Amino acid sequence: MEHKRKTLADFPPFTVTLMRKQAPDARGYIDFDLEGKFDRIIPRSEVNWFWLLFGERDCVCVQWKSRDDTNLTAVLTGTEQVVPDLVGSTLRYLNPYWQAFNVWMVLDPQWGWQRVQFEASDALAEDSASESVSIVDGREVKTWTQIERTDKRGHSTRYYPASGEAESGSRLIPGGWDHEHCALCRTHINPRDFGYRGPDDRWMCESCYKKYVEPHDLCFVDEL
């Protein structure tokens, strides 16, 4: 069977019938409610929030306030600094596993991807103790190592379980930033691997670029 390209129009639509906005708080954030209707039942998830997409690169992050799966109606609530009038608009539901930028980076032909070869860069490491204990690969972890690119470029902080006793202060690790993750499939892009880097320094592997970006196909939301 021939593959059908998935577009934003295939995402579940939510049509807004009523909107309520509060006055901005001291930080400039606005609480708002959206009342409206989906065209299908949205699967329930362990997380309560999700994205509604609209326009060229616009979105709002909302939570369920109430839902009626029989009538497909819902009341959604959120907090944003800028909230346009959405009454009468049809917004598109995005599974909470994904972020809005995952959709826009695939759809937007002007996103600015460049095919480049990844090279490791120096990193700073610093250990810190957590107040709680986490279980990672079957062992208790309370001390974590923060790894940060020295050039502060892009999304430049990661955390790993400390490999031994905590060390005080920060230390330089030559070539310590030794991979990037594909923004879609999360596979490693290692030194000397080619990938595609966006203007926000997010990376995409060559496989995902050819499969999703070139045809502007959003089927990754169902496949990955």
* Residue 67 CA to its chain's centroid (Å): 25
The answer to whether the CB of 124 falls within 8 A of the CB of 78 is no
The answer to whether the CB of 12 falls within 8 A of the CB of 39 is yes
CATH number for the domain including 88? 2.40.30
Whether residue 122 sits in one domain with residue 149:
yes
Residue 201, in any domain of the structure: yes
Whether residue 123 sits in one domain with residue 93:
no
What's the pLDDT at 2?
A: 72
What's the pLDDT at 1?
A: 65
What's the pLDDT at 224?
A: 63
Whether residue 140 sits in one domain with residue 49:
no
Whether residue 156 sits in one domain with residue 131:
yes
Residue 224, in any domain of the structure: no
Residue 102, in any domain of the structure: no
What's the pLDDT at 166?
A: 67
Last residue of a domain, one of 72, 97, 122: 97
Whether residue 126 sits in one domain with residue 188:
yes
Whether residue 123 sits in one domain with residue 90:
no
Residue 26 has phi, psi (to 5 degrees) of -65, -25
The answer to whether the CB of 191 falls within 8 A of the CB of 180 is no
Q: What is the pLDDT along the chain (224 residues), one digit of tens a residue?
A: 678 899 999 999 999 999 999 999 999 999 999 999 999 999 998 899 999 999 989 999 999 999 999 999 999 999 999 999 999 999 999 999 999 999 999 999 999 999 999 999 999 999 888 778 787 777 778 788 888 988 877 777 888 888 776 677 789 999 999 999 999 999 999 999 999 999 999 999 999 999 999 999 999 999 86
Residue indicated by tokens 């204990």: 133
> What is the count of structural domains for the chain?
2
User: What letter would DSSP give residue 162?
Assistant: -
Residue 106, in any domain of the structure: no
Whether residue 120 sits in one domain with residue 81:
no
Whether residue 161 sits in one domain with residue 84:
no
* Residue 177 CA to its chain's centroid (Å): 21
User: Which residue, 222, 190, 182, is CA-closest to 206?
Assistant: 182
Residue 123, in any domain of the structure: yes
Residue 105, in any domain of the structure: no
First-to-last alpha carbon distance for the chain, in angstroms, is 20
The structure's pTM equals 0.86
Tell me whether residue 137 is exposed, middle or buried, using C-beta atoms within 10 angstroms of its C-beta: 0 to 12, 13 to 18, 19 or more. Answer: exposed
Last residue of a domain, one of 71, 97, 123: 97
Pair of tokens at residue 15: 């049509």
Residue 164, in any domain of the structure: yes
Whether residue 183 sits in one domain with residue 142:
yes
Q: In what order do the strands lie in the sheet with 121-136?
A: 157-161, 139-149, 121-136, 170-177
User: Which residue, 22, 8, 12, is CA-closest to 67?
Assistant: 12
Whether residue 209 sits in one domain with residue 118:
yes
Whether residue 83 sits in one domain with residue 157:
no
Whether residue 132 sits in one domain with residue 206:
yes
Instruction: Name the residue range of residue 204's domain.
Output: 114-213
Residue 205, in any domain of the structure: yes
